[in-house]
Amino acid sequence: MGVKIGDVVDLLDETGHQHWGLVTAVWEPAGVNVVFVSSDEIKTDQYGRQVERLSSLQHQSTVGEQPGRFWWSDDA
């Protein structure tokens, strides 16, 4: 898919919220681990909005019609 550690990808989490995620690991052929800023306003601490992580996130082209939990990139 052409992404590498440090790239920014778009992702849809399991609650249907879209985020920009920073790739922290790449698993062939299309899986990645990402970190992103939480969309939940309650998840705030002295450093600001907390971050969340998703592991083994699959590319949009491989998940079919699942409601969420996939990534995509214009560069892929």
Nearby residues of 76 by Cβ (< 8 Å), 6 or more positions away: 1, 2, 3, 9, 59
Query: Which one is predicted more confidently, 68 or 33?
Result: 33
Residue 75 has pLDDT above 90, yes or no: no
Spatial separation of the C-alpha atoms in residues 52 and 61, rounded to whole Å: 23
Write the CA distances from 73 to 5, 53, 76, integer angstroms: 13, 18, 5
Locate the domains of the chain by residue range. 8-72
What's the whole-model pTM score?
A: 0.86
Nearby residues of 39 by Cβ (< 8 Å), 6 or more positions away: 13, 15, 17, 19
Residue 76 has pLDDT above 50, yes or no: no
Enumerate the β-bridge partners of residue 37.
51
**Per-residue pLDDT reduced to its tens digit, 2-26:** 899 999 999 998 888 999 999 999 9
**Residues 31-41, mean pLDDT to the nearest whole number:** 94
> How is residue 36 written in tokens?
């992103």
